[in-house]
Amino acid sequence: MAPLKLAIVGAGPSSFYVASRLLSLLPRSGSHASSLKIHLYDRLWAPYGLVRYGVAPDHPEVKNCTHKFDEAATDPRLRFFGNVNVGPTSPLSHALPLSLEEFLPYYTHVLYSTGCTVPILHSALPPSQYCVPALSMVHWYTQHPSKPSPPPLERTSHVTLIGQGNVSLDVARMLLTPPDHLAKYDVPTPVLDVLRRSAVQHVSIVGRRGPLQAAFTTKELREMMNLPDSSMVPLDPALLAPPEGSTLTRQQSRTLQLLQKGSKNKPGMTKKTWSLDFFRSPTGLTTPTSPTDKARLTLAHTMLDPSSRAVPTGESSTLETDLVITSLGHRSEPSLPWYDPALGHLRTVSGRVISPDGRVVRNVYASGWAAMGARGVLASTMMDAYAVTDTILRDHFPGEDVQTTAGGAPVSAADEAAAMDAVEVLPKDVDLDAIPPQVEEGLKEGRVTDFEAWRKVNAEEIRRGEEMGKERERMGWEEAREFLAKVRTPVRVTGLHNMSYTAPSSD
């Protein structure tokens, strides 16, 4: 039986959903079990991607999916290699470099599940000390290995967010929530220290369209309305009147109701405030000429044309602010193989990666944001991952009665035609247990992490958090590596399941 040795590049939620689905559809008790191996690679040393480094700390319930991922990791057919960068040079200097030439010969199938890690910038707002992407803020408060600099909150009283999606509201909520309220969550101590020194008094959340087009969810908006010591600046009632003859969705109706009701704290009752500035689009940022001045953000006033696009009215205004944070979406890294610049992510059909000349790349797939772009929530990511799993299984077991989400739908004539003209980049037969020697050596040196190492770090982070009365206290890479060196028993390492550990030393 031909082996299905799948390498997944990226170890975020989409990766784990595909892996766990494959393992459940090809159970260890089944006839295909012995031919399946799954190796997850991530340039981050810890698994779970966006769940660990993107979810707002005060949303711990969103991280519950990791229980399912942990369960999948108990299957010996699944292995994780963290702190390994597959492909072009990584921005993380400590990640082990592994070129495609060194990587591809070990696998019969490859899945790209690398997400969208590059922020989309505004053409009128080049990055500077006064203008940063929201991703830098998120990576700061989640202690991402890229180590962005903390924002200068001690000398910032006014923050302006460009974009009205959930990420903008996450950042605004982190800036306006009292640090003592955040202290019980997964917020690193250095982040809490900066937030306690914060001078932020107002956050403006700017969008080029109106309340009916805002991308945030009602859940996120309600959380803003209920901030304990902040209040929303009232909106012009005309903005909250639905257009005559329009039919609103349930979410639009609830959004208008929340905005009409206003925040729990009424205006004038709190020192801290926030505002939703609709129908405004940035056209430029003038930086201060002296330490006592603020930056000046120029905003074009907009309106909706018949197709609901924002177009300028000809009017403009200026907003004085200390810091601009852009939250305009993300794209995949252009250095990814088969990246499509027109899409901002990989081009796929039914999960199969398509080459620039329009041909299927045989046995190479993509899932999640790497395939769809940065949209959707965990539930939609899961459904996409399951659909890609179906494609992998149908391609590998054509005509066989292998259970899939779609009920084992047969390979279509179009699929067969595409397969005839596919690009070949992977071998058909490999050693199921082999891994690249660089990765083997990295495991021995402690530079590459595996699940057993992660479990030890995870338990220690939770233990430290319990001592401090919080969810966990995170480690950075240097601290995690030092910790693992103490708990690791030196043995000959030939893979994940040959590593053993002792309890941490007391020094």
pLDDT at 507: 38
Averaged over 268-284, what is the pLDDT? 97
Q: How confident is the model at residue 29 (pLDDT cuts 50, 70, 90)?
A: confident
User: Could you tell me which residues come within 8 angstroms of residue 77 by beta carbon, excluding any fewer than 6 positions away?
Assistant: 23, 28, 33, 36, 37, 38
pLDDT at 413: 45
Check whether 376 is labelled as a binding-site residue.
yes
Q: Is 206 helix (H, G, I), strand (E, B) or coil?
A: strand
pLDDT higher than threshold 70 for residue 106: yes
pLDDT at 383: 96
Q: CATH homologous superfamily for 4-117+331-430? A: NAD(P)-binding Rossmann-like Domain (3.40.50.720)
pLDDT at 115: 96
Q: How confident is the model at residue 292 (pLDDT cuts 50, 70, 90)?
A: confident
Digit-coded pLDDT (tens) for 41-89:
999 999 999 999 999 999 999 999 999 999 999 999 999 999 999 998 7
Check whether 165 is labelled as a binding-site residue.
yes
DSSP secondary structure of 12-31: SHHHHHHHHHHHHHS-TTST
With vertex at residue 283, the alpha carbon angle to CA 278 and CA 284, rounded to the nearest 5 degrees, is: 120
Question: Can you tell me the distance from the alpha carbon of 112 to that of 260, in angstroms, rounded to the nearest whole number?
Answer: 44
The CATH number of the structural domain formed by 121-328 is 3.50.50.60
- Alpha-helical runs (H) found in 241-307: 250-261
Check whether 369 is labelled as a binding-site residue.
yes
Q: Is 155 helix (H, G, I), strand (E, B) or coil?
A: helix
Check whether 407 is labelled as a binding-site residue.
no
Q: How confident is the model at residue 355 (pLDDT cuts 50, 70, 90)?
A: very high
User: Could you tell me which residues come within 8 angstroms of residue 197 by beta carbon, excluding any fewer than 6 positions away?
Assistant: 153, 154
Digit-coded pLDDT (tens) for 115-158:
999 999 999 999 999 999 999 999 999 999 999 999 999 999 99
pLDDT at 502: 42
pLDDT higher than threshold 60 for residue 333: yes
Question: Can you tell me the distance from the alpha carbon of 287 to that of 295, in angstroms, rounded to the nearest whole number?
Answer: 5
Check whether 167 is labelled as a binding-site residue.
yes
Check whether 14 is labelled as a binding-site residue.
yes
Q: Do domains 4-117+331-430 and 121-328 have the same CATH topology?
A: no
Check whether 209 is labelled as a binding-site residue.
yes
Amino acid sitting at position 102: E
pLDDT higher than threshold 70 for residue 436: yes
Averaged over 342-353, what is the pLDDT? 96
Amino acid sitting at position 54: G
The domain limits of the chain are 4-117+331-430, 121-328, 450-507
pLDDT at 430: 95
Check whether 86 is labelled as a binding-site residue.
yes
User: Could you tell me which residues come within 8 angstroms of residue 444 by beta carbon, excluding any fewer than 6 positions away?
Assistant: 493
pLDDT at 242: 87
Enter the DSSP assignment of 274.
E
Percent with pLDDT over 90 in the chain? 85
Q: How confident is the model at residue 506 (pLDDT cuts 50, 70, 90)?
A: very low
Check whether 208 is labelled as a binding-site residue.
yes
Averaged over 269-295, what is the pLDDT? 95
Q: What are the structure tokens assigned to 161, written together?
A: 């967010």
CA distances from 124 to 99, 120, 137, 148, 289 (A): 36, 12, 20, 23, 19
Question: Can you tell me the distance from the alpha carbon of 15 to that of 7, in angstroms, rounded to the nearest whole number?
Answer: 10
Q: What is the largest CA-CA distance in the chain?
A: 73
CA distances from 349 to 6, 367, 415 (A): 19, 11, 10
Q: What is the mean pLDDT of the chain?
A: 92
Check whether 408 is labelled as a binding-site residue.
no
pLDDT at 88: 85
Half-sphere exposure of 503 (CA within 13 A, CB side): 2
pLDDT higher than threshold 70 for residue 416: no
pLDDT at 412: 52
Question: Can you tell me the distance from the alpha carbon of 138 to that of 340, in angstroms, rounded to the nearest whole number?
Answer: 26
Q: How confident is the model at residue 415 (pLDDT cuts 50, 70, 90)?
A: low
pLDDT higher than threshold 80 for residue 395: yes
Closest CA to 143 of 80, 185, 85, 88: 185
Amino acid sitting at position 392: I
Check whether 155 is labelled as a binding-site residue.
no
